[in-house]
């Protein structure tokens, strides 16, 4: 359920109607305050001919207007002259009986107002049950299917009506609003009709949603995605729904930022950009753990189509931000472009980031890592073009773990390893054995402490996962009864040693090297052969083989001639 319904033709239709509308002016000024009190110029006032309504009108109950005045207000707001049909009358009466306010009714109707048959308007309306069914069907046994990974956000903020509406109501690409949450003591929970008072909205104490709305309108947005408004937060009326929604919504947060423009607030949501995330911080706050540049979740919110939020016109601060953002964008693009050591680079991105929960690092990592079914991408094509989900009964490929804030990082990592495609990198590049029963790959703690990775060949043969037995196997080249010596004592990297193997009654000796300090005792081992590295070297995994089960000890590099010597055999082993 992605972005395919959006069409520039829709936008052209709207602009044709909008050009005939009178000017609208809205402001976030509070009684007794001055326009100069608002430090961000673009947050002071919005003036234009788009059908933007004031908050006071949005808050007006439909029952107070009645059916006739409700239609009159819709017509005057949108520049139309529609008559009251039986179908439309029935719909407006339903809005009254459901205790909608005008903003909610307007937000649900505006996207179809110009291009549907009002005599059959109810056929064009959003169906909540259909939406829920589609989203429920993409989470299977704690895993997210391909359709689910590419899902458009559940809700968006309609800036014209100042209401949060379902994605299937808007059917327009939202702008992403990116920010780092401030310390709890610097935030307040706001109960607002913007999200139907479904949950308290945490925002900085010195910011306001009205000011953010005005700034986004001035920047040119119609719909936006803001986590505190569009992602169900703690403390709401339906708290039990939050855990269920988060299973899908949290791992796919990046989709809200993948296709539209992104507005970044680097000093806190809605706050003016300055040298300090809060008043207690001095210069250099961009390196603090609360900084936008140091938070885990902002990685998947990084886009090359971005702009500064809270811009006060300070060219010095703006310049610093742009340089830092350029550096982060480069790091993210390096990973998403699929360069060598992809997994290691992805781990490096989240390792240096702060998170409220350690499991959040794993969830953020899942957005970047490619899976066996489709390649991951962080660009405008990422959200799927399907709006129907998978046909009933059709099997879907499962490849992304659902999110649970109560899950341990190790359990979340184990679930992610089952899904990702770059398992052979862990087998051939990580130099230590992991904890049993998965010695072939690092634990989460080991992965987070994997600080160095010398580029090396992995293997064209993937590490496969058997879902039924929950075991991993490798079906590639192997050499048994290999004698290794010279790698017992840590020395300068690369450490040098020797490998001896018997073939057709003769001993063959090869020089080996290790780009790490992991001890490999002198002795007899089995060797898994990987891909070529540089200078005609091949990467190998050293381990012990017992009953076709391989236990990893470390990794080395060997002259690639060993791969072609004939001594290697191809067979499947359990890791």
Report the DSSP pairing between strands 262-265 and 175-179: parallel
23: three-class secondary structure by DSSP: coil
Give the pLDDT score at 7.
Answer: 47
Which residue range forms the structural domain that includes residue 227?
9-26+40-142+154-231+251-334
Reduced to 3 states (helix: H, G, I; strand: E, B; else coil), residue 569 is: strand
Closest CA to 288 of 353, 349, 348: 353
Q: Is 249 helix (H, G, I), strand (E, B) or coil?
A: helix
End-to-end C-alpha distance for the chain, whole angstroms: 38
Residue 128 lies in a domain: yes
What is this structure's pTM?
Answer: 0.86
Pick the last residue of a domain from 334, 351, 386: 334
Contact at 8 Å (CB) between 258 and 379? yes
The pLDDT value given to residue 525? 96
180 part of a folded domain: yes
The pLDDT, as a whole number, for residue 10 is 56
Q: Which CA distances in Å does 169 have to 127, 173, 298?
A: 9, 12, 27
Q: Is residue 265 part of a domain?
A: yes
Residue identified by tokens 């269920």 is 244
Which of 275, 310, 334 is the C-terminal boundary of a domain?
334
Residue 169 lies in a domain: yes
**Could you give the dihedral angle defined by the CA atoms of residues 179, 183, 186 and 192, in that order, rounded to the nearest 10 degrees?**
50
Q: How many domains does the chain have?
A: 2
* The pLDDT value given to residue 278: 44
| Alpha carbon separation from 211 to 58, 106, 203, 309, 527 (Å, rounded) | 16, 21, 12, 11, 63
Provide the sign of the torsion angle of the four alpha carbons 485, 487, 491, 497, taken in this order.
positive
Q: What is the pLDDT of residue 191?
A: 96
Determine the pLDDT at residue 455.
58
pLDDT of residue 506: 83
- Whether residue 378 lies inside any domain: the answer is no
> How many contiguous H segments (helices) and E segments (strands) does the chain have?
17, 21
Give the chain's radius of gyration (CA, Å): 28
Question: Within a domain: residue 415?
Answer: no
Amino acid 387: pLDDT: 35
Cα–Cα distance, 384 to 532 (Å, whole number): 36
pLDDT, residue 1, reads: 61
Task: Identify whether 452 is part of a domain.
Answer: no
Kindly state the tokens that stand for 481: 């009864």
Q: What is the DSSP string of 280-345?
A: T--TTGGGSTTSGGGBSGGGGG--SSEEESS----HHHHHHHHHHHHHHHHHHHHHHTT-SSHHHH
CA distances from 327 to 332, 333, 572 (A): 9, 10, 43
Q: Is residue 569 part of a domain?
A: yes
Q: Please report the pLDDT score of residue 395 as a whole number.
A: 31
Neighbour-count burial for 334-356, b at 16+ CB within 10 Å, e otherwise: bbbeeeebbbbbbbbbbeebebe
Tens digit of pLDDT at every position of the chain (575 positions): 655 544 444 566 666 677 788 899 999 877 777 787 889 999 999 999 999 999 999 999 999 999 999 999 999 999 888 899 888 898 899 999 999 999 999 999 998 888 766 666 666 666 778 888 889 999 988 888 888 888 899 999 999 999 999 998 888 899 999 998 988 999 999 999 999 999 999 999 999 999 999 999 999 999 999 999 999 999 988 888 999 999 999 989 989 998 899 999 988 999 998 754 444 444 446 667 788 888 888 888 888 898 889 998 888 887 888 888 888 777 777 666 654 447 888 888 888 888 888 999 898 888 777 665 433 333 333 344 233 333 333 333 447 889 999 999 999 999 999 988 788 889 998 999 999 999 999 999 999 998 877 655 566 678 998 888 989 999 988 999 999 999 999 888 889 999 999 887 788 899 999 999 999 999 999 999 886 656 678 889 999 999 889 999 999 999 888 877 778 888 899 99
> Of 334, 364, 396, which residue is a domain's last?
334
């Amino acid at each position: 359920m992605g972005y395919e319904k959006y069409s520039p033709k829709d936008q052209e239709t709207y602009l044709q109607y909008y050009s005939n509308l009178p000017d609208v002016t809205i402001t976030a000024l509070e009684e007794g305050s001055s326009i100069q009190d608002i430090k961000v110029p673009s947050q002071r006032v919005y003036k234009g001919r788009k059908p933007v309504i004031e908050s006071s009108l949005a808050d007006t109950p439909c029952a107070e207007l009645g059916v006739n005045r409700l239609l009159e207000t819709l017509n005057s707001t949108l520049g139309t002259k529609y008559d009251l049909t039986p179908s439309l009358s029935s719909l407006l009466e339903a809005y009254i009986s459901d205790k909608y306010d005008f903003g909610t009714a307007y937000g649900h109707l505006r996207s179809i107002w110009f291009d549907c048959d009002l005599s059959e308007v109810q056929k064009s309306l959003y169906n909540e049950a259909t939406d829920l069914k589609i989203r429920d069907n993409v989470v299977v046994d704690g895993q997210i299917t391909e359709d689910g990974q590419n899902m458009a956000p559940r809700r968006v903020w309609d800036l014209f009506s100042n209401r949060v509406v379902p994605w299937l109501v808007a059917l327009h690409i939202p702008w992403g609003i990116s920010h780092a949450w401030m310390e709890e003591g610097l935030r307040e929970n706001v109960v607002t009709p913007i999200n139907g008072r479904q949950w308290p909205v945490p925002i900085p104490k010195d910011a306001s949603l009205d000011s953010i709305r005005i700034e986004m309108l001035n920047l040119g947005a119609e719909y936006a995605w803001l986590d505190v408004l569009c992602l169900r937060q703690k403390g709401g009326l339906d708290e039990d729904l939050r855990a269920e929604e988060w299973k899908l919504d949290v791992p796919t947060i990046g989709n809200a930022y993948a296709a539209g423009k992104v507005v970044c607030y680097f000093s806190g949501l809605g706050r003016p950009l300055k040298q300090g995330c809060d008043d207690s911080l001095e210069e250099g706050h961009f390196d603090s753990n609360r900084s936008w540049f140091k938070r885990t979740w902002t990685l998947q919110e990084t886009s090359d189509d971005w702009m500064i939020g809270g811009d006060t016109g300070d060219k010095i601060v703006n310049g610093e931000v742009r340089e830092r953002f350029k550096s982060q964008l480069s790091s993210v693009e390096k990973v998403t472009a699929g360069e060598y050591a992809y997994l290691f680079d992805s781990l490096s991105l989240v390792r240096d980031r702060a998170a409220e929960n350690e499991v959040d690092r794993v969830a953020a990592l899942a957005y970047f890592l490619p899976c066996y079914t489709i390649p991951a991408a962080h660009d405008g094509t990422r959200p799927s073009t399907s709006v129907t989900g998978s046909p009933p009964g059709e099997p879907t490929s499962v490849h992304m773990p659902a999110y649970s804030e109560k899950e341990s990082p190790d359990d979340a990592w184990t679930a992610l390893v089952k899904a990702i495609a770059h398992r052979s990198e862990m087998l051939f590049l990580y130099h230590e054995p992991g904890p049993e029963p998965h010695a072939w790959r690092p634990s989460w703690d080991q992965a987070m402490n994997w600080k160095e990775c010398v580029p090396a060949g992995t293997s064209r043969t993937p590490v496969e996962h058997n879902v039924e037995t929950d075991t991993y196997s490798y079906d590639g080249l192997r050499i048994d009864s290999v004698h290794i010596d010279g790698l017992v004592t840590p020395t300068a990297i690369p450490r040098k040693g020797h490998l001896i193997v018997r073939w057709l009654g003769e001993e063959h000796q090869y020089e080996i090297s290790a780009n790490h300090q992991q001890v490999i005792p002198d002795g007899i081992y089995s060797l898994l052969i990987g891909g070529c590295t540089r200078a005609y070297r091949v990467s190998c995994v050293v381990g012990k083989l017992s009953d076709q089960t391989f236990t990893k000890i470390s990794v080395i590099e060997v002259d690639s001639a060993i791969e072609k010597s004939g001594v290697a055999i191809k067979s499947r082993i359990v890791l």
